[in-house]
Structure 1
Amino acid sequence: MRFFSILAAVAVTAILALSILARPQLMAMLGMDAPQAETPQPEQADAEGAAKVAEPTQRTRRVKVSVRRFEAQEVDSAVVLRGQTQAVRQVDVRAETSAVVASAPLRKGAEISQGDPLCELDPGTRGSALQEARARLSEAQSRVPEAEARVEQARAQLEEAEINQNAASRLSEDGFASQTRVASSDAAVATARAAITSATAGLSAAQSGIEAATAAVASAEKEIERLTITAPFDGLLESDTAELGSLLQPGGLCATIIQLDPIKLVGFVPETEVNRVSLGARAGARLAAGGGQVTGKVIFLSRSADPQTRTFRVEIEVPNPDLAIRDGQTAEIAIASAGVQAQMIPQSAMTLNDNGTLGVRTVDAEDVVSFVPVSIMRDAATGVWVTGLPDTANVIVVGQEYVTEGVKVDPTYQEVTQ
């Protein structure tokens, strides 16, 4: 029984296989017609042919972009920074002695010249002190001749004593003089030498007195000179001078003076740009608030960086004969450096790639798009100067945001005048 079951299963499996794999032949054996394939209508055939023709056309369609050709030019490179104007000199003129101001004040803003009096102080008794010092000097000078005479007298007495001593010694050797006489002559010589020492000390004391008196006279004269406080250089008064009747102590402020011709432009150069700046380099600046443009040269470049900002101080000297530039004005400074090859392109042509790098998209001879990173040198009214492009670059100026690197485009070239 089991054998027949297996045989029936095999037969059923064979019939199912024939019905699937050889259906047309099976239907012919059974006398049945095979289903006819549906014949496409002429309209449907035309539509399918048009779609097949249009499909390659759509695949080859390109994005249209506007392109400009830019040629590199040599541009004076400049280190651009912000800074401010600063007076070339500014000093607080202070008193060196204590006295009451005896002169009317000068008002701030006044022009002054070197040596002009700023504050006159009351002399008080300083004139009498000077006269006393001069009198002591005269007295000391009169003592010098007397002391010199005493020295000469002592020398003469020493010579006489030495002669007597020599004579007594010879007479004593011949037996014509006693030992007492010899001892007396020796004592006279010693006394004369002591007198010379005393007279010399007196002369030195007299000369020291002259020097002391001379110093006292110089001190009194200097004290009187300090009563007139003068301008150390040409400039402008930044503050009123001390008021009449006010008491100035040593170190008290008389006036503040600034010198604005020439004037300095002070800025701070980043450490990445400091090697492009050199002493004597030409520099220009545009002053804020309609201050105009000025030119000068670099006179100082710091050798040490600011510990907080890691920048280096730079100073530029600018002529200011009419004093039109004020101290403390904001300035945009450009310091000339070596020329570089650059192109001026529209600012709108710049874009970012997927990595956030600033650059432009260009097309080559095969109309394939490329991305070129650029660096901005400086901006101008008509565009921006950039570096990093080849000497001749076809830059996409319209449509660069709709294409990516490596695709082909349909460029339309525009004329550009740099």
Structure 2
Amino acid sequence: MKLVPILTAILVSVALYLGVFERDRLLEFAQTSSPVTAPADTEAGDAPDTDTAAASGTAEDAPSVEADGGVIRVVATHSTAQTIDSAVILRGRTEAARQVTVAAETSGLVVSEPLRKGAYVEADQELCSLDPGTREASLAEARARLAEAEGRVPEAQAAIAEANARIREAEVNVNAARQLSEGGFASETRLVSAEAVAEAAAAGLQRAQSGVASAQAGIEAAAAGVAAAEREIERLIVRAPFAGLLETDTAELGTLMQPGAACATIIQLDPIKLVGFVPEADVQKVTVGSPAAARLTGGQELSGRVTFLSRSADETTRTFRVEVQVPNDDLTVRDGQTVEMIVASDGRRAHLLPQSALTLNDEGALGVRTIGPDNASVFMPVTLLRDTVDGVWLTDLPDTVDVILIGQEYVVDGVVVVPTFEEAKG
């Protein structure tokens, strides 16, 4: 058996073990056994300035050599928090302020010329006109019945007056018969007969009063018939409920309309609504009345205010509906266009730092390495608020903080560092 390959494999394994698992101890041994000395041809006055060399380092020249005393040189910055707008960005669509399909309420043939789609109509403008047919005759008949019912009232009132007169006459006869009977000048039969006549007169009065009530009921029924006939004639004209644009042609001339048949569809585009859906995590940033800006896919920019924020989330997406109302006087914005909206919210304090300053701790939390008291390294978790071309905006940090920009991957909490500060961005 050849021993050279075996010995070579053992030596390589030992070297890999020392280089991987015992790296720190090996470096420490190398530093203590081989101190750094200046070159022989370098005079004492020409010693290199280590501070100047560290200050001129770049992101690619990350520090990897420990200084005297076991400290690490890093590049840091003095960062001060700034107030920025915490806007919410949404994607959505445009919607007409109102849209309705105007339908017929009665049956009949269309006798009006159609209006073509795209035409602008005013509120209460005639859209469709139907043939009246026999409705005018029905109205005349209802009015005649009303006049007849009104004519019965005087007759009924006269019957009441006649019945009252008979009652008074009967009362006089009863009193006279009673006095004569008590004095012995008339028989008891005459008194009974007079009382019977009085009772008949009272019954006649009740019948007359019933006749008046019946006449009044007839008047009300006839008046209801007239109102129904007039309302039926009004339904012959289908009118626009509000001003807007015709999305469809009105019903064609000669079309037989039935109740519920569509005459036309009208949309109102001024003002117009911008509809988006805000995620659950950002719903607290949006309030009714907040200013909002929007941009259509064609580049047109719009501005308005939030008019509605849903209190109920969509069951599928768990998002909340947001509506922004914007003016559209020239009607250039159409219904159903794609739009990108930015809804302003209260400003937040944040730091603008290079993205390279971000790091992770042992638990996987995102944060930055900062310089604490006695120049000790301290990890602070952050929240990424916004990513821009100039850097990232981070929150959850103190208003003023020293952040390590280069060398944060070479230290852990508590390690003393020698910082070289550069100018902060933002």
Smaller-chain TM-score bracket: 0.7 to 0.9
SS of 2:34's partner is helix
Overall identity of the aligned pairs, in %: 54
Cα distance, 1:128–1:290 mapped onto 2, change above 3 Å:
same
SS of 1:154's partner is helix
Q: Deviations over 1:168-188 (max 9, x none)?
A: 111111122222321221121
Q: Deviations over 1:326-360 (max 9, x none)?
A: 22233333333332211233445545555443334
Which residue type is aligned with residue 342 of structure 2? A
Cα distance, 1:290 vs. partner?
2.9
Structure 2 partner of 1:236: 245
Match of 1:141 among 146, 150, 155: 150
1:328 correspondence with 2:332: no
Structure 2: give runs of 5+ residues left out of the alignment. Answer: 1-29, 39-49, 51-63
Tell me the distance in 2 between the aligned counterparts of 1:404 and 1:53.
23
1:120 correspondence with 2:121: no
Tell me the distance in 2 between the aligned counterparts of 1:397 and 1:358.
15
Structure 2 partner of 1:283: 291
Tell me the distance in 2 between the aligned counterparts of 1:348 and 1:60.
22
Q: Which has the larger displacement, 247-256 or 320-329?
A: 320-329
Which residue type is aligned with residue 203 of structure 2? A
Tell me the distance in 2 between the aligned counterparts of 1:151 and 1:230.
50
Cα distance, 1:417 vs. partner?
5.1
Structure 1 partner of 2:19: none
Structure 1 partner of 2:112: 103
- TM-score with structure 1 length normalisation? 0.77
Cα distance, 1:248–1:49 mapped onto 2, change above 3 Å:
closer
Structure 2 partner of 1:209: 218
Which residue type is aligned with residue 305 of structure 1? A
Alignment of 1:284-303 (within 5 A): 284-303=292-311
Which residue type is aligned with residue 415 of structure 1? E
Structure 2 partner of 1:52: 34
Which residue type is aligned with residue 238 of structure 2? I
Tell me the distance in 1 between the aligned counterparts of 2:391 and 2:243.
45
Tell me the distance in 2 between the aligned counterparts of 1:334 and 1:49.
58
Tell me the distance in 2 between the aligned counterparts of 1:150 and 1:63.
122
SS of 2:138's partner is helix
SS of 1:239's partner is coil
Cα distance, 1:68–1:117 mapped onto 2, change above 3 Å:
farther
Which residue type is aligned with residue 178 of structure 2? S
Q: Is the 8 A contact 1:81 1:269 kept in 2?
A: yes
Q: Is the 8 A contact 1:287 1:329 kept in 2?
A: no
Q: Which has the larger displacement, 56-65 or 167-176?
A: 56-65
Q: Deviations over 1:124-171 (max 9, x none)?
A: 111111111111111111111111111111111111111111111111
Cα distance, 1:378–1:408 mapped onto 2, change above 3 Å:
same
SS of 2:298's partner is coil
Tell me the distance in 2 between the aligned counterparts of 1:166 and 1:145.
32
Q: Is the 8 A contact 2:361 2:379 kept in 1?
A: yes
Alignment of 1:392-411 (within 5 A): 392-395=400-403, 403-406=410-413
Which residue type is aligned with residue 317 of structure 2? T
Cα distance, 1:223–1:284 mapped onto 2, change above 3 Å:
same
1:357 correspondence with 2:339: no
Structure 2 partner of 1:225: 234
- Structure label with greater radius of gyration: 1
SS of 1:327's partner is coil
Q: Deviations over 1:17-48 (max 9, x none)?
A: xxxxxxxxxxxxxxxxxxxxxxxxxxxxxxx9
Cα distance, 1:87 vs. partner?
2.0
Tell me the distance in 2 between the aligned counterparts of 1:102 and 1:65.
89
Cα distance, 1:285 vs. partner?
3.2
Cα distance, 1:103–1:366 mapped onto 2, change above 3 Å:
farther
1:313 correspondence with 2:321: yes
The alignment yields a C-alpha RMSD, in angstroms, of 3.2
SS of 1:53's partner is coil
Equivalent pairs, count: 369
SS of 2:305's partner is strand
Tell me the distance in 1 between the aligned counterparts of 2:207 and 2:354.
100
Tell me the distance in 2 between the aligned counterparts of 1:242 and 1:370.
76
Q: Is the 8 A contact 1:117 1:231 kept in 2?
A: yes
Tell me the distance in 1 between the aligned counterparts of 2:366 and 2:296.
30
- TM-score with structure 2 length normalisation? 0.76
Cα distance, 1:309 vs. partner?
3.2
Structure 1: give runs of 5+ residues left out of the alignment. Answer: 1-47
